[in-house]
């Protein structure tokens, strides 16, 4: 009988074992990045190589998790099943692995296509998993049980029901545990926010406010200094959060946008360019203080066009009469002075001594938050700040965290 795993420790079986371990390793990297991005800082991650190869778009996509369970967990389970099939082979397990590998390959092709054509970027860790997954499917296709037999076209539709049931139970149990871990980390991070040390406001507070509720910045119960980049996927994610929160906390939020384009063309605080044309977009946005909030929202609402379409950026400048901003050295000097305030803070990375060098970085009511937070967590912190301003304390937090 032709088989991938049943004929002794052949090169095919050994290769399948290596591929399964590769799937597990890549999945663990994506899970780690998911939690680091949502509950810590991922600045300097090897996954963030360039504007095209970075994990930001996938990490903050709605597709990155299923009810709090990172998508990488399911990849880990599939890879583990491939390893199990190579170590303890049986006809039933190989047929089950073949069926799951086919479904997994379809999912991989769909995610890769979405990443390329919608996000227009690739997650390095995801790509490694996708590659191993397709190789695994190829092995089952070329050497799996039933190859060349009558009815071989349907061999990927004949899994063992008892193996599928057992796999489903393990996946559900593991997913429940992962969901509880996600909830526990979220609750811990809410408490951790209030344990952060106090930091000073920048020496130059940007006059460009994306949300304004009071004339004086600190008078709002929630006041945010956002070091942001218009072409940063994580900043786009924060924008979507603020859009919802500014309605719920209407009249209670001020957000000052502290320009921090991740492009060495205009920002000397950073040491590499991750977002080409980010300086150009920042200059256009800075042209008219009175219309900044409007242009800020338009850029983030049309994020992919702003990032990849030069004609759209030129049209943006025309619509707001900001063509001169691209050559206005005085205006560019204002933007540069705002950016340079990033040097005033203690290093946010052990590998870089220049202070702020990740976007978004928020000075939220005098505490620094590097990166983004889950929506529920940010909402809970905002509510805590409102209660604190009103002298009501923070005991409500426990009931806010799911």
Burial class, 89, CB count within 10 angstroms (exposed 0-12 / middle 13-18 / buried 19+): buried
The two tokens of residue 293 are 């909030």
| SS3 category, 53 | strand
- Per-residue pLDDT at 120: 77
Cβ(12)–Cβ(4) under 8 Å?
yes
Least-confidence region, from 30-44, 266-280, 316-330, 339-353: 30-44
One DSSP character per residue, 240-278 reads HHHHHHHHHTTTSEEEEEEE--S-TTT-TTSSS-SSTTH
Confidence of residue 36 (pLDDT cuts 50, 70, 90): confident
| SS3 category, 390 | coil
State pTM to two decimals. Answer: 0.61
- Per-residue pLDDT at 293: 96
Cβ(113)–Cβ(121) under 8 Å?
no
Query: Which residue in 262, 256, 232 sits closest to 242, CA to CA?
Result: 256
Going by the DSSP 8-state scheme, the letter that residue 358 receives in this structure is S
Model confidence pLDDT, tens digit, residues 185-205: 777 777 788 888 999 999 999
Q: Exposure string (b/e) for 7-18, b if CB count within 10 Å is 16 or more? A: eeeeebbebbbe
For residue 211, the surrounding DSSP H or E stretch is: strand 209-211
For residue 17, the surrounding DSSP H or E stretch is: helix 11-39
Query: What mean pLDDT, rounded, does the chain reach?
Result: 88
HSE-CB for 271 with a 13 A CA cutoff: 11
Least-confidence region, from 144-148, 322-326, 357-361: 144-148
Cα 200 vs. chain centroid, distance in angstroms?
A: 28
Q: How do 69-70 and 209-211 pair as beta strands? A: unpaired
Query: Which residue in 318, 322, 215, 234 sits closest to 275, CA to CA?
Result: 234
Model confidence pLDDT, tens digit, residues 243-262: 999 999 999 999 999 999 99
Model confidence pLDDT, tens digit, residues 335-380: 999 999 999 998 876 766 778 888 999 999 999 998 888 787 888 8
Domains of the chain, first to last: 11-189 (1.20.1440), 209-371 (3.40.30.10)
Instruction: Check pLDDT > 60 for residue 400.
Output: no
Model confidence pLDDT, tens digit, residues 50-60: 667 766 666 66
Q: What's the whole-number mean pLDDT along residues 148-160?
A: 75
- Per-residue pLDDT at 155: 78
CA distances 238 to 142, 158, 374, Å, are 46, 45, 9
* Percent of the chain at pLDDT exceeding 90: 63
- Per-residue pLDDT at 395: 46
Neighbours of 368 (CB within 10 A): 18
One DSSP character per residue, 116-178 reads IIII--B-HHHHHHHHHHHHHHHHHHHHSTTTTSTTGGGGGG---HHHHHHHHHHHHHHHHHH
- Per-residue pLDDT at 352: 66
């Amino acid at each position: 009988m032709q088989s991938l795993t049943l004929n002794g420790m052949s090169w095919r079986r050994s290769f399948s074992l290596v591929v399964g371990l590769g799937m597990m390793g890549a999945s663990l990297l994506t899970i780690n990045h998911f939690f680091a991005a949502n509950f810590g800082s991922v600045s300097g991650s090897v996954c963030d190589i360039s504007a095209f190869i970075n994990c930001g778009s996938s990490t903050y996509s709605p597709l990155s998790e299923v009810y709090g369970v990172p998508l990488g967990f399911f990849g880990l389970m599939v890879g583990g099943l491939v390893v199990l099939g190579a170590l303890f082979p049986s006809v039933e397990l190989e047929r089950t692995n073949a069926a799951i590998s086919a479904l997994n390959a379809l999912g991989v092709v769909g995610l890769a296509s979405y990443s390329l054509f919608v996000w227009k970027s690739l997650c390095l860790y995801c790509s490694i998993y996708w590659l191993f997954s397709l190789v695994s499917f190829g092995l089952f296709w070329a050497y799996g049980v039933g190859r060349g037999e009558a009815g071989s076209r349907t061999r990927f539709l004949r899994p063992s029901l008892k193996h599928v049931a057992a796999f489903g139970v393990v996946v559900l149990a593991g997913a429940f545990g992962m969901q509880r871990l996600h909830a526990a980390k979220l609750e811990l991070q809410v408490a951790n926010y209030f344990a952060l040390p106090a930091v000073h406001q920048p020496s130059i507070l940007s006059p460009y406010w994306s949300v304004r509720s009071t004339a004086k910045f600190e008078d709002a119960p929630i006041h945010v200094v956002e070091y942001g980049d218009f072409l940063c996927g994580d900043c786009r994610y924060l924008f979507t959060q603020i859009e919802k929160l500014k309605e719920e906390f209407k009249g209670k939020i001020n957000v000052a946008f502290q320009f921090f384009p991740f492009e060495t063309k205009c920002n000397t605080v950073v040491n590499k360019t991750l977002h080409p044309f980010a300086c150009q977009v920042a200059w256009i946005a800075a042209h008219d203080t009175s219309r900044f909030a409007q242009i800020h929202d338009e850029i983030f609402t049309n994020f992919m066009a702003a990032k990849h379409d030069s004609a759209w950026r030129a049209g943006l400048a025309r619509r707001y009469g900001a063509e001169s901003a691209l050559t206005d050295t005085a205006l560019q000097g204002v933007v540069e002075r705002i950016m340079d305030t990033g040097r005033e803070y203690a290093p946010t990375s052990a590998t870089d001594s220049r202070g702020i060098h990740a976007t978004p970085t928020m000075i939220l009511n005098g505490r620094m938050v590097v990166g983004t937070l889950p929506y529920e967590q940010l909402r809970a912190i905002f509510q805590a700040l409102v209660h604190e301003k009103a002298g009501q304390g923070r005991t409500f937090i426990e009931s806010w965290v799911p």
